[in-house]
Structures are given as C-alpha cells and as structure tokens.
Amino acid sequence: MKKTLVIIITLFILNNMQAQKLRHVEGNIAIDMSMHLTDYAPAYSLVYTHFFKDDLLFKAKFNYEKGVIGLSNYTAYLFSPTVAHTPLKVKSSLFLNFELGGIIGIEQASNPEFIEVYNTFLYGVNGGIEAEYYFLNNIALLLNFNELITQNSKFGNARYQIGFGLRLIIK
C-alpha cells in the first residue's frame, strides 16, 4: 500500500513539475487501448484518435468482444467511427469528452447443444462519455462508459461497456 501511494504521489509531482505539452491541440494523433466490462464478457478496443480542434476529436474504434450468453458462445467484431466533443478541461490534465457515432460489425454465435451457428451483420449507434487524465505529458489514463444500440442482434439490441485504458499521443 505504501509503495502504491509513493508511486501515485510521484506521478502527480512529475506531472506538475514538467513543462506542459499541448494535449488537446488541432493535428494531434493518439492511439488508445482499452478494456471494457459488458453484460456478457470483457471487450477490448484499439482506437485511432485525431484531434480536429482543441475540443473536437475523431475516433476510429475497433472493438472485440467474446464470451458466453446462456448456452451460446458469442463473439463480436465492431467498428465505430465516432466524434467526441470536450466541454470540460481542468488544468490541461483532466478532460471530459462526450461521444456520438455509428457502429457496424459482425456478431457470431454458436450453440453446441443445438448445433446452430449464427453470423449476423450489426449496425447502429454508439454514445458515451470519457474522462482522460494525463499523468505524464503524452500518456493519459482513460475511464469511459459507452452505450451501444445495434440492430439485428440475436442477444438484444442495447448493451453497455464500462472501461478503462491508456491514451498515447504519438504526434
């Protein structure tokens, strides 16, 4: 516990001592990696983020989810182009983003007991909220909540994802 507190305090001190780089600036590019909890299984995301303006981001999110729903094995591959707006910024370290975008993807399900296999094309919308905290100049901790509303799913058209991850600004 003491080591954890020392690490956290050190990161806060380093964050405040270093010269602040411009984080939410037009032209910046970032890569995000996230893990999400859902109703049925963990989901993993890899995201390309492009900063159009200080408070406007474009995200291309690739999402993978695999689990078991009842007796069925479930896998989903989703692509979500999303636009995010940043209405709140605290000292260039903490940002709050609201997201809205579309979803397209494939849902695969199989049930070994009934020898059934489903491949379904999904489409819909994605809305969410994300908090990002820069604990180093180009690395942020992400916390997010997304609601995915899709059509054609065999397991329900609305699902949530609560997640955390890292954002690395590469340019």
What pLDDT digit, counting tens, does each position of 108-134 carry? 888 777 777 778 899 999 999 999 999
**More confident call, 80 vs 6:** 80
- CATH 1.10.10.10 corresponds to the domain 2-169: no
Model pLDDT for residues 54-101, shown as the tens digit of each residue: 889 999 999 999 888 777 788 889 999 999 999 998 888 899 999 999
Model pLDDT for residues 134-156, shown as the tens digit of each residue: 988 889 999 999 999 988 777 77
Model pLDDT for residues 14-59, shown as the tens digit of each residue: 555 444 556 788 888 999 999 999 887 899 999 999 999 888 999 9
One DSSP character per residue, 107-136 reads EEEEETTTTEEEEEEEEEEEEEEEEEEEEE
CA distances from 12 to 15, 17, 137 (A): 5, 9, 11
**This prediction's pTM:** 0.80
Identify the pLDDT of residue 21: 58
Identify the pLDDT of residue 17: 47
Contacts of 147 (CB under 8 A, 6+ apart): 126, 127, 128, 158, 159, 160
Identify the pLDDT of residue 57: 93
Identify the pLDDT of residue 19: 45
Identify the pLDDT of residue 11: 61
Determine how many CB atoms are found less than 10 A away from the CB of residue 4: 8
Span 1-16, average pLDDT = 62
45 in Cβ contact with 31 (< 8 Å): no
